[in-house]
Chains A and B, each alone.
Chain A
Amino acid sequence: MSASFTKSTARNIFYGGAVFFFLLFVALTLDTVQALPKRDNRANLTEQVARGKKLWEVNNCIGCHTLLGEGAYFAPELGNVYQRRGPEFIKAWIKAQPTGAPGRRQMPNFHLNDAELDDLVAFLKYSSEINTNNWPPNIEG
C-alpha cells in the first residue's frame, strides 16, 4: 500500500466506519421494530402460541427442521407445514413417531399430551401467518 496512506488514516477509517455503520444498523433496527406489528402476526400471539414456542424449543425441533428457513436441513421446513399438512395430520404424525422404517430418517417420540400437541400446532399456525415476503417459493418448503 502507498506510503502516503498512513496507519492512522486506516485506523480512523476503521473506527469511523464501525461507529457510523453500527449507528445506521441501530437506526434500521428501530425502524424495523416499529414496522413489525403489521408483519409479525402478533395479534395472534396467544398464551397458547407462547406455550407452543416453548415446546418447540425444549424439544430442540430446530436440530433437524428449518423454521422460516433457519435451522437444520435434515427434515422438512415447518414454517408452512400448517398449510401443507393441516393440524390433524401434524398431531397424528408427531404421535406416530418414530416410524421405525429401516434405513429411513427417524424422528423421536417426544411424549406430548393432547394439550401440548394443540399448543405446538397453534405455534406452527401463528408462524405460518408471519409475512415472510412470500417465502418459501412453494408449498413444499
Chain B
Amino acid sequence: MTSSAMATARSASVSAAANDPLTNVQLKYRSQAVAKPYFVAAIGLFVGQIVFGLIMGLQYVIGDFLFPAIPFNVARMVHTNLLIVWLLFGFMGAGYFLIPEESERELHSPKLALITFWVFLVAGALTIVGYLAVPYATLAKITGNDLLPTMGREFLEQPTITKIGIVLVALSFLFNLSMTVLKGRKTSISMVMMLGLWGLAIFFLFSFYNPDNLVLDKYFWWWVVHLWVEGVWELIMGAMLAFVLVKVTGIDREIIEKWLYVIIAMTLISGIIGTGHHYFWIGAPAYWQVWGSVFSALEPIPFFMMTLFAFNVVNKRRREHPNKAAVLWALGTGVMAFLGAGVWGFLHTLAPVNYLTHGTQITASHGHMAFYGAYAMVVMTMISYAMPLMRGREANSNAAQVVEMWSFWLMTVAMVFITLFLTAAGILQVWMQRMGDTPLSFMATQDKIAFFYWLRELSGVVFFIGLLLYIVSFFVRGNERASA
C-alpha cells in the first residue's frame, strides 16, 4: 500500500472505532464516554442561547420585534436560563470525563449518568417550552408556584418543580462522582472539582428561600448567584483548566496543582466577602460599601493568576500535544476571564463608581464578557480536549483544528466588541441619565444610545457565525491523527 492509502485505511478504522467505546483506544476508562452526550447537549443549548440573544439585541432597537409572540422578558429568560443550563451540562460532562481519569477507575455508574442526562435534558427542554408557550403567570399557576413560591427572580425563573428536579439531578451526579472518587485515587484536581460541584449544589438551595421581605430576598439571592459565579464555579473552572493543562503540557502535576490551590485560595479569600459589592444599594448596612469595595477590588487577582498560570505552563511544556485548538482555548480562557471578570468587574465595583453605574449597560457589558471568558470558554476548552478522544483520536485533523481556531477568534473578538459597545452605551447612559442637572428619562436615554445597540447586534451576528463555524469544525474531516 502507498502511504496515503495506509493513512486512509487508518483513518477509516479510527472513525469506526470512534462510535464504539469498547474499542476506543484513546479513552483510559470506557465510562468517560458518557460525557459525550452532555457536551453535545451543551453545544446545542448554546446555539439556542445565542439565537435568543440576537432576538433581544434586535428588540433593543426595534422595540416591537416579535411582540407579542416573544416579549423581551421571555427572550431574556430563555437566553440566561439556556446559558446556565448549557454551562451546567458542560460542567457535568467535564466531571464525568475527568473524575474517572483522575480517580484511575471507571465511573461508579455510567447507566445512572445516562439516565441523569435524559432527565436533565427533558426537564430543561420542558421548562424552555413552558417559557415560550404560555404566559409566565400561567406557568407559575400550573406548576404550583403557590405551594412554594420561588419563581420570578432574575436567573431563578425556573418553576419550583424544575428547581427540585435540578437538585435531584445534581444529587445523582454528585453521588455518582463522589463514589468514584472515594473508591479511587484522590488528586488535588479531583478534590477541587468535587468541592466546586458540591458547593454549586449546596448554594443552589438558597433559591428555595424567598421571603416577602425584599431586602432579605435580595440578600440571600446573591448566595446563589454570586457564590456561584464568583465562588464555587471558579473552583470548577480552575480544576477543569488544570486538568487540561496537565494533559496538553506534560508539566509535572505537583506544579500545576500548586498553582491551582493558590488561584482558588485567592478566589475565595477575595470573592466571599466580595459578595458585598452587591449589597451597596439594596437595603443592607452602609458598611458593605467598604467591605465590598476592598475585597471585590482583589477579585481580579485570581483571574490574573489564571492567565499567568496558563501561559507559564504552556511556555514550559514538556510535550507537543497535537491538539493545538485545546491549548488555544485554555490560553484564551485565562486572558478573557481576566478581562471580562477581572478588569470589567473592577471597572464598576468600587462603591462610589457603582453608585452611578449600578443597573446600567455597564453591568451588562461585564456580564457578557465574564460569562463568555470564564465559563463558556472553559467548557469549550474541555470539549476541545475531550471530544476528539471520545471520538477515537488524540486530536482532530489539522483542517478541523483550523476551522475550530477560526471559530475561537470570531467568537472571542466578537465578544470583545459586544463588550466595548455595551460599555460605550453604558457610559453614555450614566452620563445622560444620572449625571448633570437635567437628567434625561430612561427611555429618552435609550433612544440616544441606540446606535451602540446596533453595533452590539452586528457583533452578535459575527459571534453567531463563529458559533456556527465551531459546530462545523466537528464535521470537518481530514487526516485524523490517531496517535501523537
> Considering the chains assembled together, what is the distance between the CA atoms of A49 and B211 in angstroms?
12
Interface residues on B, range: 35 or more
In chain A, residues 43-63, which have Cβ atoms closer than 8 Å to a Cβ of chain B? 45, 49-50, 53-54, 56-63
- B23 sits at the interface (CB 8 A): no
A97 to B72, CA, bound (A): 14
Residues of A within 8 A of B (CB): 1, 5-7, 10-11, 13-14, 17-18, 21-22, 24-25, 28-29, 31-33, 35-36, 39-42, 45, 49-50, 53-54, 56-64, 66-77, 98, 100-108, 110, 126-127, 130-133, 135-141
Q: How far is the CA of A129 from the CA of B22 in the complex (A)?
A: 65
Contacting A40 at CB < 8 Å: which of B77, B151, B215?
A: B215
B269 lies within 8 A of A39 (CB): no
Q: Which 9 A-B pairs have the closest CB atoms?
A: A63-B73, A57-B152, A69-B359, A105-B63, A10-B261, A135-B281, A14-B265, A40-B215, A76-B442
Select from chain A the residue with minimum beta-carbon distance to B220: A29
Contacts of B355 in A (CB 8 A): 135, 137
In contact, A60 and B77 (Cβ under 8 angstroms) = yes
If A1-B259, A21-B273, A67-B214 are given as contacts, then 13 extra A-B residue pairs at C-beta distance below 8 Å, sorted by A number, are A6-B258, A21-B269, A50-B212, A53-B214, A59-B137, A63-B76, A63-B136, A64-B71, A68-B283, A130-B283, A135-B355, A136-B434, A139-B439
**CB-defined contacts of A138 to chain B, threshold 8 Å:** 434, 439
* Residues of chain A lying within 8 A (CB to CB) of residue B459: none
User: CB < 8 Å: which of B67, B213, B272, B443 contacts A106?
Assistant: B67
Taking a contact as CB atoms closer than 8 A, the residue among A24, A62, A103 that contacts B62 in the complex is: A103
Q: Which one of B219, B264, B443 lies within 8 Å of A32 (CB-CB)? A: B219
B320 proximal to A (CB < 8 A): no
Instruction: Given the known inter-chain contacts A21-B269, A28-B291, A77-B359, please indicate yes or no for A132 contacting B282, CB distance below 8 A.
Output: yes
**Cβ of B401 under 8 Å from chain A:** no
B152 contacts A59, C-beta separation under 8 Å = yes
Does B257 belong to the interface (CB within 8 Å)? yes
With A18-B268, A58-B140, A140-B439 in contact, do A106 and B63 touch (Cβ < 8 Å)?
A: yes
